[in-house]
Structure 1
Amino acid sequence: SPSTNWQLEIAGEVVSDLGKVAEHFNTFFNTAAEKLLHHTKTQRSGVAQLNNSFQGETLTNWPLASHEEVLTIVSSLKSTSSVGIDGVSSKMIKFCINEISKPLTNIINKSLFQGEFPTKLKTSKVYPLLKNGSKQEVQNYRPISLVPTISKIIEKIVLARLLEHLNLNNLLPERQHGFISGKSTTSALIDLIEHTIDNLEKGHTVTSVFLDLSKAFDSLDHRLIIQKIKSLGFEGSTLKWFQSYLSKRYQIVEIKQVQLGAERTVRSKPQMVKRGVPQGSVLGPVLFVLFTSDLPKYLESHCYPVMFADDTVLLTGSKSSELLDINTYIAVSMAQQYCDSNDLVFNSSKTKLLALGRLKDELTEPPDLQRVVTTKHLGVILDECLSWRCHIDGLCSRLNSAVFALKRIKAVATPTATKTAYHAIFESHLRYGIILWGGSTMENLERVLIAQKRAVRVMAGLQPRDSCREAFKSLRILTVVSIYIIEVINYAASRGNLPRLSAVHDHHTRRGNDFSLPIHRTALFSKKPCYAGAKLFNLLPQDFKNCDPKTLKRRLLDWLKDKSIYSLDEFKTSMNNFH
C-alpha cells in the first residue's frame, strides 16, 4: 500500500527522494544474496557432485499445449487485481479469455517449440515490505515480487510437463515434501515425528538438527541449476527453454507515495538478476526442489533428512551417546559440504539442535550450533519430550484472540458471516497440526476445547456457563476432538503404512478390514498418527470400514456433526453402542 513518507538511510544520510529510494531498494534486494555468498565464502567450490547416471527416457521437446488446456489453466488462476510490470491482472485475462485464448495458445506453443521464454515476461516488479524495525533501514524490508500473469500461465503449462517427466522416471525425492502434489507441511511434520518416535521406541536417543539456509532461493547459481536439470533427463529444446527462462532476467522496484491526496508512483531502473529462482513465480520453488533433490541421498547414510523446500531437518538416532555425537557431527559436516559445493549458505549460528530420549543430557554441546529445548518448525512448536505443551500455549493464545474478534464480528454481521469468520480466524488455527498434537494428552485437547466452546457460545448467543453441545449440532460445527478423530482415521485409511488383518492372516476373518496393530513399549508410539488412526478405525462399524477413504471421511463427518464428541473415551463408548 502507498506510504505517506518514504525515507531511507543511505550512506549515513536520510534520503526522501523517491527515485533514489527506489534505486537503493533495487540494488539492495538484487545484491543481498551475492554479498552473503561472498561474506561467507570458505571452501565453497560451486562445483556440485552431480548424478550423471540418468537411466530413464530423456525429454527433448515439450508437448504442445491444446486450446482446452490453456482455458483450464487460466480458469485455475486466482482472480486478483494485482499486476506485474505489464499491467495485466489475472482478473482481466479471465474476463476476456474467450477472445484471446487462441493467440495466447499460439504464443505459448511458440515458446515451447522454440525453447525460448518471451523476453518481455522476464522482468519482475518488486515492492518493499517492512518486516520489523526502523522504516529507514533497508535491511528491515523484504521484497514482494510480481511476475507477469501470462508468465504464470506459460509456467503452469511447463510445470505439468515437468512433473509428468519426473513422475514417469520416479525422480521426485521421497524426503522432500515441498511443492509436490499430495505432500505438504503436515506430511513433512508427520514424517519427522513418526521417524523420531520409531527411534525412541527402539531405545535410541535422537538428535534433530534444524538447518538454516540463508537466502536459499535467492543464492542459487543459474549454471548449477541447468546442470542439475540436465542430470534429470532434460536435453535439447527443453533444456534450452530452462536456460532461456533463467537468463537475462530483470527486476525493477516500484514504490508509491501519497501526498496531499495525490498518489505518485516511481520505478527504479531495471537491474539484471544473476542469481536465484524468480520470486513469485510458479516454477521457482519447484526448481529449488529439483536443485536440492540429491541432498537426501548425499546424507542418508549418516542421518534421516526431512525437507520442506529449504526447511531441512537431519534426524540421527543411537543407543550410544558417543556414537550419536559422532554421527550428528558427521551429518552436519556433510550438510555444510553440500552447501559449499552448491553455492548455498549454511548458517551454523542459526542452526538448532533438539535432543530427545533418555541420554539427551549426556550429549556433547555441538560446536557452532544452538542447543535448544523447544523450537518452532513449519508452524508448530516442538519440545524435547514431544509433550506439545508449548505449542498448545501459543495456540490457545491465538484462539482466545480469535474469540475476542468473533464477539465484535457477531455484533455487526449475520449468523452466516459470523460462522464464515469462525472457520477463517478460529478453526483454521485449530486444525493445523492437529493430527500430531491432538493425540498427545487429553489435557491438551481439553484446553483447546474450552476455547472452542467460548467461540461457539459467542456464535450461538449463549451465556458463559450455558451448555453448548446442542449449539455445536445446530451450527454443524465439529468439536476439536471430532476434527482429530477424522484427521487420524482418514490418514490411517488413505496413507498409513500398517497392514490389514486380511494381509497377515491366510484364513478369512470377519475383521479382515481392521488394521494389525504392532506391539509397542512406549506411550509415545500409540500417539503416532498411523497407529492412533488405525486403532480408532478398528472401532468403527463394519459398513464404515468397507467404504473407500473418501466415502468413509464423508460418512464419519456427517455422523460426528450429529454427536458433539467431547473426548476420545466418549467416541469409544459411542462406537460400542453403535455395534
Structure 2
Amino acid sequence: MYKIEHSLASGRIIVLLLYDEFYAWCDRNRFILNKNKTVVINFGIQKLLPIDISLHSDFELSPSVKLLGTYFDANLSYDIHIEYVCKQMNKAYFALLQLKSVLDERSILSAYYALAYSHMAYNIICWGNAVEMRRVLIAQKRIMRLIYNLLPTESCRPVFREKRILTLPSVYILKCVTFVSKNRHCFRTCSYYHSYSTRHGSLLSIPKHRTTYFKRSPYYNSIVLFNALPSNIRDIPGYSKFKAQVKKLLLDNVFYSVSEYLDFTNSTRL
C-alpha cells in the first residue's frame, strides 16, 4: 500500500512540474493560458484508484473534454462523442423530414451530406471502431429509409449500392486506408525486417503490443484494414487512383461492419 501511495504522490508531483513548465513556456512566448477552457484528464485503461490532482486550484479533474470537435473521455471509449453524433443525426432526420416535401432527390441528398454525413464522418478514424458505433449506423439507415420511402422491415443495402452512398463502416474503412496511403513513409512493410523475399513481404508490419487496448487504436486498425485490401488495390502507388478504387470496392459491396469487410476480403483471396 505504501508503494501505491508513493507512486500516486510522485505522479502528482510530475503533473505539477509539467504544469509549471508549460505555464512558463506560454509566458515566455507571450501566450495566455485560457484557464476557463483548460481541463485535466487522467487518461488510462483502468482506474484502480481515484487520483486527486489539484493544480493550484486553477483546474479540475474532468472525465471528458471536447477538443477540435471531438469528445475525448478518460478511457477513450468515445461513448460521449457517439452520443453527441447520434443527437446530430436525429436533428438531421427531422430537418430532412421537413425538407423532403419541397426538395428533389439531388437536393435532399445534398442536405443529407451537409446535415448528417458531415457529423458522422468527422474524425471517424478515432471513434469509428468504438463499441457504440453501431448506434450511428442505425441512425444513418433511418435517414436512408426516410429519403427513399423504405419500410422499417425493408433492407437498406440495395439503396446504398444503387445510389452509391457509403455506409458508416465503409466511411471508416476508407478514412483508415487513405490515411495509410497518404502517410506510407510512417509505416514499414514486413520485408523491411528481412533480407530475403517473403510471402507477405509487401504487407505492413504491425507493431508488437501486449494489450487488446492497442487494437482499438487508429494506427493498428489502419494497418489491419489496409493489409486486408486486395493486392491489386493495395499496391496502387497514386493516392487519387488508390482512393477511387477503394471507394468503388466499398460501394459495390455494402458493408455493415468492419468484420464483414474483413470476411469478404479474406474470402476473395481463397
Regarding TM over 0.5, the answer is yes
Residue 405 of structure 1: aligned partner: 95
Residue 161 of structure 2: aligned partner: 473
Deviation at 1:350, TM superposition (A): 4.0
Give yes or no for the alignment of 1:519 onto 2:201: no
Give yes or no for the alignment of 1:531 onto 2:226: no
Deviation at 1:521, TM superposition (A): 1.7
Deviation at 1:511, TM superposition (A): 2.1
2: CA distance, partners of 1:377 / 1:436: 12
Residue 453 of structure 1: aligned partner: 141
1: CA distance, partners of 2:96 / 2:157: 19
- 1:564 equivalent among 241, 245, 254: 254
- 1:546 equivalent among 235, 238, 244: 235
Give yes or no for the alignment of 1:392 onto 2:82: yes
1: CA distance, partners of 2:112 / 2:231: 34
- Which has the larger helix fraction? 2
Is contact 2:136–2:168 with CA below 8 Å preserved after alignment?
A: yes
Residue 331 of structure 1: aligned partner: 18
1: CA distance, partners of 2:167 / 2:26: 45
Q: Give deviations 1:317-356, integer Å, cap 9, x for gaps.
A: xx94333322221121122222333443223354210002
Structure 1 residue identity aligned to 2:202: N
Q: Which moved more, 1:509-518 or 1:566-575?
A: 509-518
- 1:499 equivalent among 175, 182, 188: 188
Return 5+ residue gaps in structure 1 as ranges: 1-318
- Change in CA separation of 1:540 and 1:375 when aligned onto 2, cut-off 3 Å: same
- 1:421 equivalent among 111, 118, 126: 111
Is contact 1:434–1:484 with CA below 8 Å preserved after alignment?
A: yes
Structure 2 residue identity aligned to 1:501: C
- 2:127 equivalent among 416, 425, 437: 437
- Which has the larger strand fraction? 1
Residue 188 of structure 1: aligned partner: none
Is contact 2:53–2:61 with CA below 8 Å preserved after alignment?
A: no
Is contact 1:339–1:346 with CA below 8 Å preserved after alignment?
A: yes
Residue 270 of structure 1: aligned partner: none
- 1:382 equivalent among 72, 75, 80: 72
1:199-348 → structure 2 map (5 Å cutoff): 320-348=7-35
Give yes or no for the alignment of 1:372 onto 2:62: yes
Is contact 1:352–1:372 with CA below 8 Å preserved after alignment?
A: yes
1:89-104 → structure 2 map (5 Å cutoff): none
Deviation at 1:536, TM superposition (A): 1.3
- SS class of match (1:509): coil
Q: CA RMSD in A?
A: 1.9
Structure 2 residue identity aligned to 1:547: I
Q: Give deviations 1:441-482, integer Å, cap 9, x for gaps.
A: 2xx221000000011111211123321110111111000000
Is contact 1:479–1:565 with CA below 8 Å preserved after alignment?
A: yes
Structure 1 residue identity aligned to 2:55: P
Is contact 1:500–1:515 with CA below 8 Å preserved after alignment?
A: yes
Is contact 2:52–2:61 with CA below 8 Å preserved after alignment?
A: no
Deviation at 1:363, TM superposition (A): 4.5
Deviation at 1:373, TM superposition (A): 0.5
Residue 171 of structure 2: aligned partner: 483
Deviation at 1:489, TM superposition (A): 1.3
Give yes or no for the alignment of 1:575 onto 2:259: no
Q: Give deviations 1:479-525, integer Å, cap 9, x for gaps.
A: 00000011111112322633101211211123222011122122221
Q: Give deviations 1:506-563, integer Å, cap 9, x for gaps.
A: 1112322201112212222112222101111111211112112432221010111111
Is contact 2:215–2:221 with CA below 8 Å preserved after alignment?
A: yes
| Percentage of matched positions with identical amino acids | 32
What count of residue pairs does the alignment treat as equivalent? 259
Deviation at 1:395, TM superposition (A): 0.6
- SS class of match (2:65): strand
Q: Give deviations 1:257-307, integer Å, cap 9, x for gaps.
A: xxxxxxxxxxxxxxxxxxxxxxxxxxxxxxxxxxxxxxxxxxxxxxxxxxx
